[in-house]
Amino acid sequence: MEALKSKIRDVLDFPKKGIVFKDITTLLKDRHAFRKVVNIFGKRYRKKKIDSIVAVEARGFILGAALAHRLGVGIIPVRKKGKLPYRTHQVKYQLEYGRAVLEIHRDAIEPNERVLLVDDLLATGGTTEAVCKLIKKMKGKIIEVAFLIELTELKGRRKIKNPVYSLIKY
C-alpha cells in the first residue's frame, strides 16, 4: 500500500484553512496505480454477488465506474441537490466544513438489491452515513462500504452501521 500512498498528494489549506486535502488525481493519472486499485477492489468483491455500485459525487464516480465495469454491474450516482433530472429521494447532512443535501433517483434501487457503496475518502463519515440512509430508505441491502482512503483519526467509521473496507489508511 505504500506504493499507492506515495501516489496521493497532500494539498494544504484546501478547501479551507487547516484542512489537508488528499488529492487522488495524481494516483488516477498513473495507469499502473489506478489499475492496481481497481484490481484490488475487483478481487475483493467479485464473489460477493453485488447487483449495483452506488457511487458518491464526484471522485466516487471515478472509482465506482471503473469497479462497476470490472464487476459487470451497473452504477448508481448519488449527487448534490438539483443535479439529477428525475424524481429523487433527498437527505440533508453535515459535512466536515458545512451542510449539504444529497439525492438519488427514486427508481435507482430495487428492494433487496445488493449494493456496494463506493467513495474516495472516509473522513468524519457524515456523507457516507447520509448515503446509507438513502439506500436503506429504498430497502437496498448494503453489502459493504468501500473507500480508497480512510482518515482514521477522524473516526468516521463509527457513524457507519455497515461493514467498511478502506484500502489506504492515514
> Domain-by-domain residue ranges, the chain?
49-169
pLDDT of residue 94: 81
More confident residue, 95 or 83: 83
| CB atoms closer than 10 angstroms to residue 17 | 7
pLDDT of residue 123: 92
pLDDT of residue 99: 87
Mean pLDDT for 100-109 is 97
**Which cell numbers in the block locate residue 140?**
437496498
96 is known as an active-site residue: yes
Q: Is residue 16 scored above 90 in pLDDT?
A: no
Q: Please provide the average confidence, as pLDDT, over all residues in the chain.
A: 96
Q: DSSP string of 61-74?
A: HHHHHHHHHHHT-E
Residue of 44, 57, 70, 96 with catalytic role? 96
Mean pLDDT for 93-114 is 90
Tell me how far apart the alpha carbons of residues 118 and 121 are, in angstroms, rounded to a whole number. Answer: 9
**Which cell numbers in the block locate residue 114?**
445488493
C-alpha torsion angle, residues 54, 56, 62, 64 (rounded to 10): -20
CA atoms 48, 55, 61, 148: torsion sign: negative
Q: E strand or H helix at 114, and its extent? A: strand 114-122
So what's the architecture of 49-169 in CATH?
3-Layer(aba) Sandwich (3.40)
pLDDT of residue 7: 98
Q: Is residue 98 scored above 90 in pLDDT?
A: no
Mean pLDDT for 152-161 is 96
Mean pLDDT for 30-48 is 98
35 is known as an active-site residue: no
pLDDT of residue 97: 64
Distances (CA, A) of 90 to 68, 84, 134: 24, 11, 7
